[in-house]
Structure 1
């Protein structure tokens, strides 16, 4: 029997602001994403030195995941939370930086620290390492956020017992234009979002 699933919590990050469950929890004056992400890390007192070595896409996904997963992840426990993310630009933001480092024969200096992030699913690895997740994970590329596909995919993971919860969403970043929408989906009924869909929350 198919279980009904519900959105448990959600987060939106764009335009120098973080909105958690419909409430603005952090906002800065207009600035670039790098500065915004550092200010957000300090604001929420997140102690994670590796953050500063990540590419921008991973930082965006990390921040959203951190605020959603930290309250529900149990330390030293097998947290069976699947990760299902998507975007439009893949890792293009990093790809451009890597290409610039190899395009000039007289200034040929490819950086392994940049090259390692030339796959968009690396952000899933960063989240998994942070929260010690050894669960299912997938990263999709769409022209636009395909909310129906993402919700259906998450439901399959939940109803086939591949996951107890799913962190699902959109993490798009290119040339300092960014937008993240992440939500946690589970089988526990949540009256607050009982009649909400990913699409309605994403477009609020």
Structure 2
């Protein structure tokens, strides 16, 4: 498969920190994930009212993508024909648990459709697409662990077959107190070679 593609940039949110291309942009020592995401939203002046209706998975993916794509826009590298290829291991389990708690106590029974209004992986991708006016393909996969090989192959296929000019790829996962977002953008231009080895290196260096 042709591999004349490059990683334009990457962003990671983990352990109450936000890093872009290895540079620390924001850090908060304590607090829950919701508290951290709210503070990060304020720090980056995100200004997107629907953010607060989203579940934690969607908030995490949306914020990570926003930091990364806004940086590309500032450097005139952003392309509207950008596909989205994301993955995680927990799907929407974090929100599923919340809904289960709302129905398991018959004496305090309060199931609400509002729990699912802004949830599930497709909402995460949908809000990123709306925010940045992305009209290309999008897919969300479930794996047992971060799968650099599959992301590499799928992304290269989209670019080689002219389905997109660039691809926002990566991992967005929330499971109770554990969370992580690692996103990167691949296109025909960039500073880092788009290889399985480079994707794996970036993911595991925690930069």
Considering the TM-score relative to the shorter chain, is it more than 0.5? Answer: yes
Task: Return 5+ residue gaps in structure 1 as ranges.
Answer: none
Deviations 1:105-127 (A, max 9, x none): 33322222212345322211111
User: Would you say 1:202 and 2:203 are equivalent positions?
Assistant: yes
| CA distance in structure 2 between the aligned counterparts of 1:166 and 1:194, rounded to whole angstroms | 14
How far does residue 33 in structure 1 lie from its aligned partner after superposition?
Answer: 0.6
**Contact in 2 for aligned 1:87/1:142 (Cα 8 Å):** yes
| Kept in 1: contact 2:89–2:143 (CA 8 A) | yes
Query: 1 CA distance for matches of 2:160 and 2:34?
Result: 38
CA distance in 2, matches of 1:73, 1:108: 47
1:20: Cα distance to partner?
0.4
Q: CA deviation at 1:73?
A: 5.2
Query: How far 1:186 moved relative to its partner?
Result: 0.5
Aligned to 1:15: 15
The aligned length equals: 200
Residue aligning to 1:92 = 93
Q: Please tell me the root mean square deviation across aligned C-alpha atoms, in Å.
A: 2.0
Deviations 1:24-70 (A, max 9, x none): 11111122110100111111111111111110000000011001112
Q: CA deviation at 1:130?
A: 1.3
Match of 1:147 in 2: 148
Q: Which runs of 5+ in 2 are unaligned?
A: none
SS in 2 for 1:51: helix
CA distance in 2, matches of 1:99, 1:55: 15
